[in-house]
Amino acid sequence: MDIDERCAEPGLTITVIVCAFNEALLLPACLFSLRAQTRPPDQILVINNASTDETRAAAEAVPGVTVVDEPIKGLVVARETARRVAHGDIVAYVDALIAVRRSCGSNASKRGSSASRRPWRSADRISSTTGTGPARMLIRLYDMLVAPPTHALVHHAVGIGAVLYGGNFAVRRDALAQIGGFDRSVEFHGEDTNLGRRLTPIGRIELARECWVWTSARRYRAMGKSAVFG
């Protein structure tokens, strides 16, 4: 979907949510990239998810950031906690190990979708533990050749779900409320699929191609290419 003024909804507010477990090292880069948006978020929430390092202090050191402690460890638990305290019309969930392009906030406010998902690119800009050249190529090929037709099939043609990038997506807060929030019975893997399936009856889900994010690809390197792409 092209982004232009016809799909803008004036007055929408944006809350950006970062769920962080022991992310004191990478978190500041993410938060400062959010503050540098051409359309800054109306609220930046960091959910300090049972961290044992200086995650809370790192978040508090960035102006304009609200920190909420969630002592029960778990990504879906942290996301649901954030949903309940967020006040933006649009809630955008991002990983702590990414940096967001400066125009993403503006583009998110112009989308009328129930949800939009963000492709990501591995880069040296955040961490030295980044993906290799071949891994980056595989990621780009997935973004260009695999994800779009798969999403078109399962979401637009069949209407049974959506392809979501689990770590980075934006969704209308009222749409999340309609589906009862996040399914806390899902611990981690499959949460994005679960969310896409439950949001599909509410409205359309689109790929925000113009809103990719930089990531350290730390988790993917730890898992290995065979596990990620196999």
Q: What is the pLDDT of residues 28-78, one digit of tens each?
A: 999 999 999 888 899 999 999 999 999 999 999 999 999 999 999 999 999
Q: What is the pLDDT of residues 110-128, one digit of tens each?
A: 444 555 544 333 333 333 3
Structure tokens at 47: 């959910």
Cα–Cα distance, 20 to 129 (Å, whole number)? 18
Contact 29, 60 (CB under 8 A): no
Helix count (H) and strand count (E) of the chain?
10, 10
Q: Based on the number of CB atoms within 10 Å of its own CB, is 75 exposed (0-12), middle (13-18) or buried (19 or more)?
A: buried
The pTM (predicted TM-score) of the whole model is 0.79
Q: Which residue is it, tokens 């967001």?
A: 100
Structure tokens at 46: 């960091």
Q: Is residue 8 scored above 70 in pLDDT?
A: no
93-102, 154-163, 214-223: the lowest-pLDDT one? 214-223
Q: Based on the number of CB atoms within 10 Å of its own CB, is 164 exposed (0-12), middle (13-18) or buried (19 or more)?
A: buried
Q: What is the pLDDT of residues 195-225, one digit of tens each?
A: 999 999 988 888 777 666 666 666 666 666 5
**Where residue 9 falls among pLDDT bands split at 50, 70, 90?**
low
Cα–Cα distance, 199 to 174 (Å, whole number)? 11
Q: Is the dihedral of CA 124, 130, 131, 133 positive or negative?
A: positive
pLDDT at residue number 93 = 93
Position with higher pLDDT, 142 vs 65: 65
- Residue 65 backbone dihedrals phi, psi, to 5 degrees: -105, 135
Domains of the chain, each with CATH number or no CATH: 12-217 (3.90.550.10)
